[in-house]
Amino acid sequence: MTIDIKQIGVIGAGQMGSGIAHISALAGYDVILMDISKDQLDKAMTVIENGLARQVKREKIAESDVAPTLKRIKTGDTLSLFKSSDLVIEAATEDEELKKDILRELCPLMKKDAIIASNTSSISITRLASQTDRPEDFVGMHFMNPVPSMKLVELIRGIATGEDTFKKINDLAVKLGKIPVNAEDFPAFIVNRILLPMINEAVYTLYEGVGSVDAIDSAMKLGTNHPMGPLELADFIGLDTCLAVMNVLHEGLADTKYRPCPLLVKYVEAGWLGRKTERGFYDYSGEVPVPTR
């Protein structure tokens, strides 16, 4: 039987990693948040503090919850911090080779009975697990962005994932206030298998001149009652992440319907990655986002 989870490690202090650290600490777990960038760790702690303040304002949590939550989070820049962790959640950039390198380096530093989860949004859990010394204790745990407010977690078994491990991670997801949904280990799982081709099609619609950025987003918000238009959503997710998922779908399923739009490729090549670079399908440098096309 796998161990009780008391200390959770999180690799990567970006949008997803900081959100996972936030909800884990709020749920009463000791958290170690690791990133190679000290600036990114400082930024993540500010994001978590601001997020907790918003939850207090919306009366989701009590003011008295904030200080203990922040106190439970320790930060650092080395994988050796995870030697006492019961679960480590990998939330690095959506790059398969990078994730594999991290996992190979991580395993010898962990307790033998500790579990590893990956927050990958598209990459094969079986392939990632094969790089570890514990494929039976490896599972996909795909959180949605923004993590503190989105209820869903996709749970994905690799071919070797043990039933005990899967049940323990399912129970953890519930304790973190999430609703777990089981997805099979196919490229991009459920949400991104459906969502990213829609976003890619919106980029094709722009590329082919069917509509402007504003027209496409307005049409989808008003015509399908989506809270954000697909191009606005792409900027929120990060255009590099959108492209990475489309490449996984295209390569993994070998179907031309998943071919990334050349315009999406061009934006990523230009370094226009969306909100995080202040420029994507919209320019975010002013007070109001302005379409770039």
**The predicted structure's pLDDT at residue 93:** 92
**The predicted structure's pLDDT at residue 160:** 97
Which residues are identified as catalytic? Answer: 121, 142, 154, 192
Task: Please write the tens of the pLDDT for every residue from 189-203.
Answer: 999 999 999 999 999
**The predicted structure's pLDDT at residue 2:** 55
Domain ranges of the chain: 7-183, 193-291
Intervals of the chain under pLDDT 50: none
Q: Strand 138-143 and strand 152-157: pairing? A: antiparallel
Q: What's the CATH code, domain 7-183?
A: 3.40.50.720
The reply to whether 193-291 shares the fold of 7-183 is no
Residue 261 CA to residue 245 CA, distance in Å, equals: 12
Q: What's the CATH code, domain 193-291?
A: 1.10.1040.10
- Before 146, cis peptide (omega within 30)? yes
Q: Angle 278-43-66 (CA atoms, 0-180°, nearest 5)?
A: 125
Amino acid at 147: V
Residue 74 CA to residue 28 CA, distance in Å, equals: 14
Q: Whose structure tokens read 């094709």? A: 204
Q: Whose structure tokens read 């039987």? A: 1
